[in-house]
Homo-oligomer: A and B are copies of this chain.
Amino acid sequence: MSTASIPGYTYGSAAVPRSPLTLEELEHLKQAVTFGEEDVAALRRSREALAGRVDEILDVWYGFVGSLPQLLRFFSHRETGEPIGDYLQRVRARFGRWILDTAAAEYDQAWLDYQHEIGRRHHTGKNATDGADSVPSIDLRYVIALIHPITATLRPFLEASGAAPEEVDRMHDAWRKAVILQVALWSEAYVR
């Protein structure tokens, strides 16, 4: 899917506000996660293993979200509680692109800005991008909680790439750090 056809995907565009954090603050945060050049390289190697299987990964993640009412409600109508199909589909397209963007591992200003935008869209900016009539925010505790299932469920896809076990471990660890780093950045939209 070309990025132009992903609804609401604005990474790198002038529509994305500047992050309140500087690139130096990003560097400090990366150090705290022990995220280094080896992780950048491992993420980029993982892109090949994952790029052809994005839809299957999303099936697993959406299956998980759909299995837990406390998660599905974030994609459901705020009054009726009915899941909003159109909203789920629009977010799914961006979620798929997020897999590729995370594996691309570009930690520049455009990327930093978009992390804050993603955080904002989980909280005060939720629903607006998709015109959804859903609950006003995803509770931050659930955003943090999902670090585990999101990263744990990637492992079978990394293993299926045929990489040696140590290489799977390296790519998996890089993904764990990358997701923790991003959730840490997203949390800024909740506390500022």
Which chain A residues have a beta carbon within 8 Å of chain B's beta carbons?
A: 28-29, 31-35, 68, 70-71, 140-142, 144-149, 152, 173, 176-177, 180-181, 183-185, 187-188, 190-191
Contact = CB atoms under 8 A, between A and B. Distances in A.
A180 B148 contact: yes
14 contacts: A28-B68, A29-B70, A31-B68, A32-B146, A33-B148, A140-B191, A141-B184, A141-B185, A144-B144, A144-B183, A145-B180, A187-B190, A190-B190, A190-B191
A145 B71 contact: no
How many monomers of this protein are in the complex? 2
Given A148-B177, A190-B191, A191-B191, A71 B142 contact: no
Nearest to A69: B28
A65 to B, nearest CB: 9
B33 A180 contact: no
A168 to B, nearest CB: 13
Contacts of A29: 70, 141-142, 145
Given A32-B68, A32-B145, 15 more contacts: A29-B70, A31-B68, A32-B71, A33-B149, A35-B148, A140-B184, A140-B188, A141-B188, A144-B180, A144-B184, A144-B187, A147-B147, A147-B180, A187-B187, A190-B190
